[in-house]
């Protein structure tokens, strides 16, 4: 049977040559702390685009200065950042891949030390070291981090406006995919989860209320995209904690987001609470399959997907419509090309002319 992994797929207005996508991976590499992507990002993302994936998604890119996970994160809240991203997008396109950007606000997990080069320091970066006060749905801290300031109505309106403005800049930079980061314990996920959202207004309590901010952002970003780009939503399907966000809630909100114009759902898990997570090969695939089946939406599976047969089986069996790889792509940026050879897929479009001799 021909490989299903290396068949095309169309999501929204964008056609992808195959079903291997590169997942967002934080790099913490903006040494000037100005949010402007650098030559590191050009080479990192460019190498991944050269490896045969049909879509390369940037790291979590902040829609505002206060939305950064760390001071070293990229942003897209001004035109200098947009112009730097445009150079990178152009190179990704030259390599034959589509370019996606993950738009995000870190919320209560903002202003934290990057996981390396901080002399062993962890948690919230103090103002004296270039940090800032985090924001969140409620004054409930993530364990080990500073207590956030609860957003008021005007602050919530600003978040929506920031996502919309970032989407417009991303489109101007040439991105084909706008992914909204509603996973891993960042702001949109924080509003969704009752573990972090204890509000008693129109943004708290019921599932509809907790999803209100996400839905406003989906509406704003799909309006901006207007047929020019595909809109993805990344969910954490479960908090892995009793009484937290779960896969049934995820499927319900995914259906709402689909009806509002979102095109694809990137299904991960965790990140909003300390939890005992049973990590292993493909450990999150069942959540992607659940959301796909219950919500009747196209989904991507992610999480310890490391070999060709495994990835092929996920797509061919209908558990997901695409796979997203991260660590395996860090180990080998040419993973899609290697998988195509192992599966016997006739996919010459994966190969750069400079690499064509490696097909045999």
Residues known to be catalytic = 186
Which is nearest to 305 in space by CA: 286, 324, 322?
Answer: 324
Q: How many residues does the chain have?
A: 360
| C-alpha–C-alpha distance, residues 255 and 295, integer Å | 5
| C-alpha–C-alpha distance, residues 248 and 245, integer Å | 9
Rounded to the nearest 5°, which phi and psi values hold at 137?
-70, -30
Token pair 């992994």 in the structure block, residue: 5
CB 51 within 8 A of CB 329: yes
CB 13 within 8 A of CB 353: no
CB 253 within 8 A of CB 209: no
Q: What one-character-per-residue DSSP string does 267-320 give?
A: EE---SS-------TTTTHHHHHHHHHHHT--EEEESS--SHHHHHHHHHTTS-
């Amino acid at each position: 049977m021909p490989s299903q992994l290396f068949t095309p797929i169309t999501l929204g207005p964008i056609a992808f040559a195959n079903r291997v996508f590169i997942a967002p991976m934080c790099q913490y590499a903006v040494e000037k702390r100005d949010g402007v992507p650098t030559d590191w990002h050009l080479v990192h993302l460019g190498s991944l685009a050269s490896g045969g994936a049909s879509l390369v998604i940037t790291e979590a890119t902040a829609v505002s200065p206060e939305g950064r996970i760390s001071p070293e994160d990229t942003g897209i809240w001004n035109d200098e950042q947009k112009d730097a991203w445009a150079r990178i997008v152009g190179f990704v396109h030259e390599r034959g891949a589509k370019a996606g950007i993950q738009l995000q606000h870190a919320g209560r997990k903002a202003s934290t030390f990057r996981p390396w080069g901080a002399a062993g320091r962890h948690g919230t970066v103090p103002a004296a070291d270039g940090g800032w006060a985090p924001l969140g749905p409620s004054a409930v801290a993530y364990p080990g981090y500073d207590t956030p300031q609860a957003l008021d109505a005007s602050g919530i309106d600003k978040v929506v406006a920031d996502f919309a403005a970032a989407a417009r800049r991303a489109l101007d930079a040439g991105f084909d995919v706008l992914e909204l980061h509603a996973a891993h314990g960042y702001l949109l996920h924080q509003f969704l989860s009752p573990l972090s959202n204890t509000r008693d207004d129109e943004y708290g309590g019921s599932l509809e209320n907790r999803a209100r901010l996400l839905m406003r952002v989906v509406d704003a970003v799909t309006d901006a995209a207007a047929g020019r780009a595909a809109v993805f939503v990344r969910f954490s399907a479960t908090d892995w904690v009793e009484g937290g966000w779960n896969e049934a809630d995820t499927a319900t909100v995914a259906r709402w987001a689909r009806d509002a114009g979102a095109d694809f759902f990137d299904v991960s898990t965790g990140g909003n609470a300390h939890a005992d997570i049973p990590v292993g090969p493909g450990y999150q695939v069942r959540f992607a399959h659940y959301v796909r089946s219950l919500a009747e939406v196209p989904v991507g599976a992610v999480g310890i997907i490391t070999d060709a047969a495994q990835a092929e089986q996920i797509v061919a069996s209908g558990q997901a419509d695409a796979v997203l790889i991260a660590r395996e792509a860090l180990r080998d940026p040419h993973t899609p090309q290697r998988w195509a050879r192992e599966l016997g897929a006739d996919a010459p479009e994966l190969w750069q002319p400079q690499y064509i001799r490696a097909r045999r």
